[in-house]
Structure 1
Amino acid sequence: MSFEHFLTFASEAETVGLWGGGLLALALVAGFFERRRLKRNAIDQVGWMPWFAISFVCLIIGAGLIALAIKGMAAG
């Protein structure tokens, strides 16, 4: 089954699960960049992107969406 076929006939719970997985992946990327920002060599070059806030918000929303998707898939 191709991914396009899966997306066409996916239930709402599966779609919410995909969004949650995408947000968790974004949280991992933002967490990596936050760690990179904290370990920088030049202490004066802080940067302007709030990586911690991005990773925290994506983690909370993504985990909530995954929990709802699991509940929806279990219900049928």
Structure 2
Amino acid sequence: MQGVGEILHIAKSGRIIVKLNQKVKPGDTLVDAKGKNIAKIIELIGPVKSPYASAMSMTDRSKKYVGTKVYMRGKR
């Protein structure tokens, strides 16, 4: 697994906002350190040099992941 960023907060819309430190693309699935699916990336936002991702939660406990690192399975 590759570390791709950190969950900053949950938007009013319910989407998870992630500060990215690796390249990802819409449709990629984010997982926690144990490999559990957390969210699917919907869109990339912000400046190219410091991007963020807006992701749709795949769990009903997304608030517990705020402030944690997220990963992506597979090769890039």
TM range (shorter): under 0.3
Larger C-alpha radius of gyration, 1 or 2? 1
Taking structure 1 as the reference length, what is the TM-score of the superposition?
A: 0.18
Taking structure 2 as the reference length, what is the TM-score of the superposition?
A: 0.18
